[in-house]
Amino acid sequence: MRLAQLFYLENENPEKEIKLYINSPGGAVTSGLAVYDAMNHVGIVDSLPCETSGVWEYIQSPVSTCCYGQACSMASLLLAAGEPGKRYSLPNSSIMVHQPSGGARGQATDIAIHAKEILRVRERLNKIYQKHTKKHTLADIEKAVERDYFMTAEEALEFGLIDRIMEKRDVSVDDDESSALSESSPTQ
């Protein structure tokens, strides 16, 4: 998914809901956080290249999220970051949370710098999960993401990552009045 797609849909009609369909094993944290920031009304700089004139200060459109297949790693964070009450999963989807991973090579001081950065990123991601699950303390989130934690749709509902499991197509959720955006990976 490209951020430009979010901006385009929002520019077409800021009042119209954007539906983000997620089937992704995850992707780069930095790319995922860029999508997260756009979804969560964080200011966008006014020098974005676009075909229309004007400045986007925020993505004003509500963004609903729906997992079909899988939402793992960074994709699970985007699933959880959907508009409250509009975070869905299909019944046989798999959702996985974990801490960020990475590696570093080079001089010992460079490796130490990278280690410090990944720990800082882990703390930021944990706070974001905690913000969107609400019923968990930061310590609960830290324990949950210590290793790969796979959840069924029911477990993700209980955990607070989603609000509803879609057992069948719901016309009130899937109407013609919203814009759909499919995501196969946060880095695309």
What is the CATH number for 88?
A: 3.90.226.10
The burial class, CB within 10 Å (0-12 / 13-18 / 19+), for 10 is buried
The pLDDT, as a whole number, for residue 135 is 86
Is residue 75 domain-resident?
yes
Q: Decide if 37 contacts 56 (C-beta within 8 A).
A: no
Residue 53 — very low, low, confident or very high, per pLDDT cuts 50/70/90? Answer: very low
Q: What is the mean pLDDT of the chain?
A: 84
More confident of the two residues 57 and 104:
104
Question: Rounded mean pLDDT of 92-96?
Answer: 99
Q: At what angle do helices 29-39 and 108-133 cross, to 10 degrees?
A: 30
Task: Return the bridge partners of 149, or none.
Answer: 97
pLDDT in tens, 157-176: 999 999 999 987 765 555 54
Task: Give the range of the structural domain holding residue 15, as residue numbers without chain letter.
Answer: 3-97+150-183
Residue 107 lies in a domain: no
Look at the chain and report how many structural domains it folds into: 1
Task: Report yes or no on 155 lying in a domain.
Answer: yes
CB under 8 Å to 11, separation ≥6 — which residues? 50, 52, 54, 56
Q: Is residue 145 domain-resident? A: no
Residue 13's pLDDT is what? Answer: 84
Assigned domain for 130 exists: no
The pLDDT assigned to 39 comes to 86
Q: Does some domain include residue 23? A: yes
Under 8 Å between Cβ of 33 and 47: no
Q: What average pLDDT does range 133-144 have in this prediction?
A: 95
The residues annotated with a catalytic role in the active site are 98
- How many Å from the N-terminal Cα to the C-terminal Cα in the chain? 5
What does the alpha-carbon distance between residue 133 and residue 148 come to, in Å, rounded to a whole number?
18
Residue 37 lies in a domain: yes
Answer yes or no: is 122 within a domain. Answer: no
Confidence of residue 10 (pLDDT cuts 50, 70, 90): confident
- Phi/psi for 55 (5° steps) reads -120, 135
